[in-house]
Amino acid sequence: MPDAVRPDASSAAPSADPSSDPSSDGSMMRAVVYDAPRELEVRSVPRPVAGPGEVVVDVDLAGLCGTDLHLHEGGFFAGFPLTPGHEATGTVRSVGDGVTHVRPGQRVAVDNASSCGRCRECSRGNHLFCEHFHSLGVNAPGGFAESLLSPAHKVYPADDLDPELAVLAEPLACAVHGMDVLGLRPGADVLVVGAGTTGLLLSQLLLHGGAGRVTVAAPTPFKLELADAYGVDRVVRVTRDADETSRTLARLQPDGFDVTVDVTGAASVVGMLPSLTAANGTVFVYGMCDEDARVPLRPYDVFRRQLTVKGSFAQVDCLDRALALLRSGRVRTEGLVTHRFPLAGYHEALETLRSDPTSLKVLLEPQR
């Protein structure tokens, strides 16, 4: 089924006369809007207004990732109509009553994920599984718009960071959460399969988080070159054939790796990881697979070799640590941003993310 992209007048060249712009009074803005899966357009919508405890942010940059491909198809608990965009940085436009930690005109990074703090899961400390989980760009309007509305406590000052750095705070926060879940044992021998943006960020956290050795395997040379430049111990070029890749990696480490990590979201990769994992090791499912994907698993292997299987889903309350890592320079990001598009180029940006092998982090610039 082809994507339904309706004509968009806003993609035309801007008028030289500001009075001809329907949003010139500030009450309207442009946004990517899905009315249903695959049915999208860039159109004028009311600009949000900050209520008590809220902040309106004019979005300078918003990142696309694999989650947006799933949302495009209606997956990942998407709520329609939807303006996606869960990785955003920008400038504070206005603040509501009671907001004192940020001011209009200040650059900020936005944490898209909020929990209610009152439901059963929240009361048990499981905020990520909140029954009323609020996620900008997933089930609430996000950053693929000229402005977004956020709870104030999810907006972090980022004046000292370049926007191209600050926009990576959310994907890095997901990697921080992944490290929390993994609970890496010092000295572990770790294999990471995949070298996309999240794989490159997570690999660096593994490297600095106690791993004895980090091996990154992927099919794309320039991504492996980045992994090598970021300091991982070993890079291995593999093919997209899971059986061939499994044989290559098994020869590389006949006794298995202490931790094997999938960041590709490919079920074929997840399926091969148990056989590459050492006794008493951990299989870590970090990439997001299709919801209906299935993998073969020999329960006897899990039983006999005492394998642990863990998953990592998104993040909540990790953005402050991600910003600290970006500020420290310990996590390197040069080379991650490969493509930038104006808001009206959203569909092209999505296709670039989906099919262009030269892409890593793809960004939208909603103000142009």
Give 38's DSSP letter: T
Query: What CATH number is attached to the domain comprising 56?
Result: 3.90.180.10
- Does residue 160 share a domain with residue 19? yes
Determine the distance from the C-alpha atom of residue 276 to the mean position of all C-alpha atoms in its chain, rounded to a whole number: 27
Query: What CATH number is attached to the domain comprising 199?
Result: 3.40.50.720
94-98: which pairs have CB atoms within 8 A and are 24 or more residues apart? Answer: 94/49, 94/50, 94/55, 94/56, 95/50, 95/54, 95/55, 95/56, 95/152, 96/50, 96/51, 96/52, 96/53, 96/54, 96/55, 96/152, 97/51, 97/52, 97/53, 98/52, 98/53, 98/152
In a domain, 325, yes or no: no
In a domain, 324, yes or no: no
In a domain, 326, yes or no: no
- Does residue 160 share a domain with residue 267? no
Residue count of the chain: 368
Rounded Cα gap, residues 235 and 53, in angstroms: 47
- Does residue 194 share a domain with residue 96? no
- Does residue 193 share a domain with residue 162? no
- Strand 361-365 vs strand 54-64: parallel, antiparallel, or unpaired? antiparallel
CA atoms within 13 A on the CB side of 352: 19
- Does residue 71 share a domain with residue 183? no
> b/e for 165-204, b at 16 or more Cβ within 10 A?
bbbbbbbbbbbbbbbeebebeeebbbbbbbbbbbbbbbbb
List the one residue out of 47, 36, 46 whose CA is nearest residue 5: 36
- Does residue 195 share a domain with residue 158? no
- Does residue 38 share a domain with residue 146? yes
In a domain, 329, yes or no: no
Whole-structure pTM value? 0.92
- Does residue 163 share a domain with residue 73? yes
In a domain, 181, yes or no: yes
Gyration radius (Cα) of the chain, Å: 21
Question: Domain span at residue 133?
Answer: 4-168+336-365
In a domain, 236, yes or no: yes
Q: Are 186 and 165 in contact (CB under 8 A)?
A: no
- Does residue 177 share a domain with residue 232? yes
Pair of tokens at residue 346? 């959203």
List the one residue out of 80, 87, 40 whose CA is nearest residue 346: 40
In a domain, 328, yes or no: no
List the one residue out of 271, 355, 286 whose CA is nearest residue 69: 355
| Total domains present in the chain | 2
- Does residue 214 share a domain with residue 277? yes
Q: What is the pLDDT along the chain (368 residues), one digit of tens a residue?
A: 344 444 343 333 333 344 345 446 789 999 999 999 999 999 999 999 999 999 999 999 999 999 999 999 998 889 899 999 999 999 999 999 999 999 999 999 999 999 999 999 999 999 999 999 999 999 999 999 999 999 999 999 999 999 999 999 999 999 999 999 999 999 999 999 999 999 999 999 999 999 999 999 999 999 999 999 999 999 999 999 999 999 999 999 999 999 999 999 999 999 999 999 999 999 999 999 988 899 999 999 999 999 999 999 999 999 999 999 999 999 999 999 999 999 999 999 999 999 999 999 999 999 99
- Does residue 303 share a domain with residue 199? yes
- Does residue 31 share a domain with residue 79? yes
- Strand 155-157 vs strand 107-110: parallel, antiparallel, or unpaired? antiparallel
In a domain, 327, yes or no: no
